[in-house]
Protein backbone atom coordinates (compact mmCIF):
# COMPACT_ATOMS: atom_id res chain seq x y z
CA UNK A 1 0.00 0.00 0.00
CA UNK A 2 1.07 3.58 -0.69
CA UNK A 3 1.69 5.74 2.37
CA UNK A 4 1.57 9.47 2.88
CA UNK A 5 5.33 9.53 2.34
CA UNK A 6 5.30 7.53 -0.90
CA UNK A 7 7.61 9.32 -3.37
CA UNK A 8 6.12 10.41 -6.67
CA UNK A 9 7.80 9.33 -9.91
CA UNK A 10 6.94 10.73 -13.33
CA UNK A 11 7.36 9.09 -16.72
CA UNK A 12 7.23 11.11 -19.94
CA UNK A 13 6.99 8.51 -22.68
CA UNK A 14 4.86 6.76 -25.27
CA UNK A 15 2.00 4.32 -24.83
CA UNK A 16 2.50 0.71 -25.85
CA UNK A 17 -1.09 -0.65 -25.70
CA UNK A 18 0.22 -4.21 -25.34
CA UNK A 19 1.87 -3.23 -22.05
CA UNK A 20 5.39 -4.47 -22.69
CA UNK A 21 7.10 -1.10 -22.90
CA UNK A 22 6.44 2.63 -22.57
CA UNK A 23 4.40 4.18 -19.79
CA UNK A 24 2.70 0.92 -18.79
CA UNK A 25 6.06 -0.76 -18.16
CA UNK A 26 7.23 2.35 -16.32
CA UNK A 27 4.15 2.45 -14.10
CA UNK A 28 4.46 -1.23 -13.23
CA UNK A 29 8.10 -0.62 -12.29
CA UNK A 30 7.34 2.49 -10.21
CA UNK A 31 4.70 0.62 -8.22
CA UNK A 32 6.92 -2.45 -7.75
CA UNK A 33 9.61 -0.21 -6.26
CA UNK A 34 7.30 1.66 -3.90
CA UNK A 35 6.60 4.86 -5.83
CA UNK A 36 3.35 6.57 -6.74
CA UNK A 37 3.24 6.71 -10.57
CA UNK A 38 2.35 9.72 -12.71
CA UNK A 39 2.67 9.94 -16.48
CA UNK A 40 2.66 12.21 -19.49
CA UNK A 41 2.02 10.69 -22.91
CA UNK A 42 4.21 11.73 -25.84
CA UNK A 43 2.77 9.31 -28.39
CA UNK A 44 0.10 6.66 -28.78
CA UNK A 45 1.66 3.78 -30.65
CA UNK A 46 -0.11 0.93 -32.44
CA UNK A 47 1.80 -2.19 -31.49
CA UNK A 48 1.87 -5.61 -29.91
CA UNK A 49 4.65 -8.08 -29.14
CA UNK A 50 5.30 -8.69 -32.85
CA UNK A 51 5.89 -5.12 -33.98
CA UNK A 52 4.94 -1.45 -34.25
CA UNK A 53 2.33 -0.59 -36.87
CA UNK A 54 2.04 3.17 -36.50
CA UNK A 55 1.67 6.02 -34.03
CA UNK A 56 -0.10 9.31 -33.35
CA UNK A 57 2.15 11.85 -31.65
CA UNK A 58 1.24 14.51 -29.12
CA UNK A 59 1.91 18.23 -29.59
CA UNK A 60 3.79 20.69 -27.40
CA UNK A 61 0.41 22.03 -26.27
CA UNK A 62 -0.97 18.64 -25.19
CA UNK A 63 2.36 17.85 -23.54
CA UNK A 64 2.16 21.05 -21.51
CA UNK A 65 -1.51 20.45 -20.79
CA UNK A 66 -0.68 17.10 -19.20
CA UNK A 67 2.47 18.07 -17.34
CA UNK A 68 1.65 21.44 -15.79
CA UNK A 69 -1.23 20.15 -13.61
CA UNK A 70 0.95 17.31 -12.33
CA UNK A 71 3.78 19.66 -11.42
CA UNK A 72 1.36 22.07 -9.74
CA UNK A 73 -0.29 19.38 -7.63
CA UNK A 74 2.52 16.93 -6.83
CA UNK A 75 6.05 17.14 -5.51
CA UNK A 76 7.72 15.01 -8.17
CA UNK A 77 10.74 13.21 -6.74
CA UNK A 78 12.12 11.73 -9.97
CA UNK A 79 11.54 11.91 -13.72
CA UNK A 80 12.33 9.57 -16.57
CA UNK A 81 11.82 10.07 -20.28
CA UNK A 82 11.27 7.48 -22.95
CA UNK A 83 9.92 7.82 -26.49
CA UNK A 84 10.16 11.46 -27.63
CA UNK A 85 9.29 11.19 -31.32
CA UNK A 86 9.39 14.76 -32.65
CA UNK A 87 11.53 17.86 -32.30
CA UNK A 88 8.47 19.68 -30.95
CA UNK A 89 8.04 17.12 -28.18
CA UNK A 90 11.73 17.01 -27.24
CA UNK A 91 11.91 20.80 -27.08
CA UNK A 92 8.72 20.89 -25.04
CA UNK A 93 10.07 18.37 -22.53
CA UNK A 94 13.33 20.29 -22.14
CA UNK A 95 11.44 23.57 -21.73
CA UNK A 96 9.07 22.19 -19.10
CA UNK A 97 11.77 20.43 -17.07
CA UNK A 98 13.57 23.75 -16.74
CA UNK A 99 10.50 25.95 -16.38
CA UNK A 100 8.80 23.77 -13.77
CA UNK A 101 12.09 23.01 -11.98
CA UNK A 102 11.59 19.27 -12.21
CA UNK A 103 14.36 16.88 -11.10
CA UNK A 104 17.07 16.15 -13.66
CA UNK A 105 15.61 13.26 -15.67
CA UNK A 106 16.79 9.75 -16.32
CA UNK A 107 16.84 9.85 -20.13
CA UNK A 108 16.26 6.59 -21.98
CA UNK A 109 17.06 7.75 -25.55
CA UNK A 110 14.49 5.54 -27.29
CA UNK A 111 15.22 5.44 -31.02
CA UNK A 112 14.19 2.09 -32.50
CA UNK A 113 11.65 -0.45 -31.30
CA UNK A 114 12.57 -4.07 -30.61
CA UNK A 115 10.97 -4.94 -33.97
CA UNK A 116 13.05 -2.34 -35.82
CA UNK A 117 10.53 0.52 -36.14
CA UNK A 118 12.11 3.99 -36.05
CA UNK A 119 10.71 5.91 -33.06
CA UNK A 120 12.50 9.26 -33.40
CA UNK A 121 12.95 11.55 -36.39
CA UNK A 122 16.26 13.16 -37.42
CA UNK A 123 15.24 16.63 -36.24
CA UNK A 124 14.10 15.23 -32.91
CA UNK A 125 17.43 13.43 -32.55
CA UNK A 126 19.30 16.70 -33.01
CA UNK A 127 17.19 18.43 -30.34
CA UNK A 128 17.59 15.44 -28.03
CA UNK A 129 21.38 15.68 -28.16
CA UNK A 130 21.58 19.47 -28.00
CA UNK A 131 18.87 20.27 -25.45
CA UNK A 132 17.72 17.28 -23.39
CA UNK A 133 20.80 15.13 -22.84
CA UNK A 134 22.68 18.01 -21.13
CA UNK A 135 19.80 18.23 -18.61
CA UNK A 136 19.90 14.52 -17.76
CA UNK A 137 20.96 13.00 -14.46
CA UNK A 138 21.97 9.96 -16.48
CA UNK A 139 21.49 8.77 -20.08
CA UNK A 140 20.87 5.03 -20.62
CA UNK A 141 21.43 3.99 -24.26
CA UNK A 142 21.58 0.41 -25.47
CA UNK A 143 24.21 -0.50 -28.06
CA UNK A 144 22.33 0.71 -31.18
CA UNK A 145 21.39 3.94 -29.41
CA UNK A 146 24.95 4.47 -28.19
CA UNK A 147 26.19 3.89 -31.75
CA UNK A 148 23.91 6.62 -33.05
CA UNK A 149 24.86 9.01 -30.26
CA UNK A 150 28.58 8.33 -30.66
CA UNK A 151 28.57 8.18 -34.45
CA UNK A 152 30.33 4.84 -34.94
CA UNK A 153 29.79 1.08 -34.59
CA UNK A 154 30.28 -0.74 -31.30
CA UNK A 155 31.57 -4.28 -31.64
CA UNK A 156 33.27 -4.94 -28.31
CA UNK A 157 33.87 -3.57 -24.83
CA UNK A 158 36.69 -1.29 -25.99
CA UNK A 159 34.24 0.31 -28.42
CA UNK A 160 31.77 0.76 -25.56
CA UNK A 161 34.33 2.77 -23.62
CA UNK A 162 35.17 4.84 -26.68
CA UNK A 163 31.46 5.50 -27.26
CA UNK A 164 30.99 6.47 -23.63
CA UNK A 165 33.69 9.09 -23.93
CA UNK A 166 32.16 10.39 -27.16
CA UNK A 167 28.73 10.72 -25.53
CA UNK A 168 30.15 12.45 -22.46
CA UNK A 169 31.85 14.95 -24.78
CA UNK A 170 28.35 16.08 -25.83
CA UNK A 171 27.83 17.82 -22.47
CA UNK A 172 26.37 14.68 -20.86
CA UNK A 173 27.12 14.29 -17.15
CA UNK A 174 26.67 10.51 -16.81
CA UNK A 175 26.03 7.67 -19.25
CA UNK A 176 25.16 4.00 -18.75
CA UNK A 177 25.73 1.99 -21.93
CA UNK A 178 23.81 -1.28 -21.83
CA UNK A 179 25.75 -4.07 -23.48
CA UNK A 180 23.03 -6.68 -23.86
CA UNK A 181 23.16 -6.55 -27.66
CA UNK A 182 26.77 -7.80 -27.50
CA UNK A 183 25.88 -10.78 -25.31
CA UNK A 184 25.73 -14.40 -26.44
CA UNK A 185 25.07 -17.75 -24.83
CA UNK A 186 27.64 -18.54 -22.14
CA UNK A 187 29.00 -15.01 -21.98
CA UNK A 188 28.77 -12.23 -19.45
CA UNK A 189 27.09 -8.94 -20.29
CA UNK A 190 28.73 -5.62 -19.46
CA UNK A 191 26.79 -2.47 -18.64
CA UNK A 192 29.27 0.41 -18.46
CA UNK A 193 28.67 3.54 -16.38
CA UNK A 194 30.88 6.55 -17.12
CA UNK A 195 30.89 10.12 -15.84
CA UNK A 196 32.62 13.42 -16.37
CA UNK A 197 35.01 12.54 -13.53
CA UNK A 198 36.40 9.85 -15.90
CA UNK A 199 35.56 7.08 -13.45
CA UNK A 200 34.29 3.88 -15.07
CA UNK A 201 32.05 1.42 -13.25
CA UNK A 202 31.29 -2.04 -14.61
CA UNK A 203 28.11 -4.00 -13.97
CA UNK A 204 28.46 -7.57 -15.20
CA UNK A 205 25.78 -10.22 -15.34
CA UNK A 206 25.39 -13.60 -17.02
CA UNK A 207 23.73 -13.59 -20.42
CA UNK A 208 20.32 -15.26 -20.03
CA UNK A 209 18.96 -16.62 -23.29
CA UNK A 210 15.18 -16.25 -23.06
CA UNK A 211 14.73 -15.07 -26.63
CA UNK A 212 13.92 -11.52 -27.70
CA UNK A 213 12.75 -9.36 -24.79
CA UNK A 214 10.55 -6.25 -25.00
CA UNK A 215 10.77 -3.43 -22.47
CA UNK A 216 14.13 -3.92 -20.74
CA UNK A 217 15.27 -0.37 -21.47
CA UNK A 218 12.05 1.17 -20.22
CA UNK A 219 12.11 -0.96 -17.09
CA UNK A 220 15.75 -0.23 -16.27
CA UNK A 221 15.42 3.55 -16.66
CA UNK A 222 12.16 3.56 -14.71
CA UNK A 223 13.80 1.53 -11.94
CA UNK A 224 16.71 3.98 -11.75
CA UNK A 225 14.22 6.85 -11.46
CA UNK A 226 12.19 5.02 -8.81
CA UNK A 227 15.30 4.35 -6.75
CA UNK A 228 16.34 8.00 -7.02
CA UNK A 229 12.85 8.97 -5.85
CA UNK A 230 13.34 6.70 -2.83
CA UNK A 231 16.45 8.69 -1.89
CA UNK A 232 19.23 6.44 -3.15
CA UNK A 233 22.25 8.08 -4.74
CA UNK A 234 22.85 7.56 -8.44
CA UNK A 235 25.30 4.67 -8.15
CA UNK A 236 23.10 2.73 -5.74
CA UNK A 237 20.05 3.53 -7.89
CA UNK A 238 21.72 2.03 -10.94
CA UNK A 239 23.00 -0.98 -9.01
CA UNK A 240 19.56 -1.71 -7.53
CA UNK A 241 17.87 -1.17 -10.89
CA UNK A 242 20.24 -3.64 -12.53
CA UNK A 243 19.38 -6.24 -9.88
CA UNK A 244 15.67 -5.59 -10.41
CA UNK A 245 15.89 -6.06 -14.18
CA UNK A 246 18.15 -9.11 -13.91
CA UNK A 247 15.60 -10.65 -11.58
CA UNK A 248 12.79 -9.98 -14.04
CA UNK A 249 14.80 -11.53 -16.89
CA UNK A 250 15.55 -14.68 -14.86
CA UNK A 251 11.85 -14.93 -14.01
CA UNK A 252 11.08 -15.28 -17.73
CA UNK A 253 12.79 -18.69 -17.66
CA UNK A 254 9.83 -20.16 -15.79
CA UNK A 255 7.00 -17.77 -16.67
CA UNK A 256 4.12 -18.38 -19.06
CA UNK A 257 4.72 -16.88 -22.48
CA UNK A 258 2.60 -13.81 -23.34
CA UNK A 259 1.92 -12.96 -26.98
CA UNK A 260 3.52 -14.32 -30.13
CA UNK A 261 6.57 -12.04 -30.48
CA UNK A 262 9.18 -10.52 -28.17
CA UNK A 263 8.65 -11.41 -24.52
CA UNK A 264 7.41 -8.51 -22.37
CA UNK A 265 9.61 -7.96 -19.34
How large is the average pLDDT for residues 31-35?
98
The pLDDT tens digits of the residues spanning 202-255 come to 998 877 777 778 789 999 999 999 999 999 999 999 999 999 998 888 887 777
pLDDT band at 96 (very low <50, low <70, confident <90, very high): very high
Residue 216 placed within a domain: yes
**Residue 61 burial (10 A CB sphere; 0-12, 13-18, 19+):** exposed
Residue 44 placed within a domain: yes
For residue 17, the model assigns a pLDDT of: 94
Residue 54 sits in a domain whose CATH number is 3.40.1190.20
How large is the average pLDDT for residues 83-112?
96
Residue 2 placed within a domain: no
Check residue 105 and report its DSSP letter. Answer: P
Residue 3 placed within a domain: no
For residue 3, the model assigns a pLDDT of: 55
Residue 239 placed within a domain: yes
pLDDT band at 4 (very low <50, low <70, confident <90, very high): low
Distance from C-alpha of 183 to C-alpha of 193, rounded to nearest angstrom: 17
Residue 186 placed within a domain: yes
Distance from C-alpha of 140 to C-alpha of 91, rounded to nearest angstrom: 19
pLDDT band at 195 (very low <50, low <70, confident <90, very high): very high
Closest C-alpha to 142, from 172, 169, 112: 112
For residue 183, the model assigns a pLDDT of: 60
Residue 201 placed within a domain: yes
Residue numbers of the domain that contains 245? 8-264
The pLDDT tens digits of the residues spanning 111-167 come to 877 666 777 888 999 999 999 999 999 999 999 999 999 999 999 999 999 999 999
- Number of structural domains, the chain? 1
How large is the average pLDDT for residues 31-52?
95
Residue 1 placed within a domain: no
For residue 197, the model assigns a pLDDT of: 85
For residue 214, the model assigns a pLDDT of: 74
Q: What is the mean pLDDT of the chain?
A: 91
Amino acid sequence: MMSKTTPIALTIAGLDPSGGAGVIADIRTFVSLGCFPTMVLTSITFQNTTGVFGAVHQTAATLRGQLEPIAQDFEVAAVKTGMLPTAEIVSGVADLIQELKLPAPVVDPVMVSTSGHDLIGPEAFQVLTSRLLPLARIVTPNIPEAERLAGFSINNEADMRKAGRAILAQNVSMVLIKGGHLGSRGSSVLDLMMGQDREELEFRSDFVDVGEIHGTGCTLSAAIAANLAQGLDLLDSVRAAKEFVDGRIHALLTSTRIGHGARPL
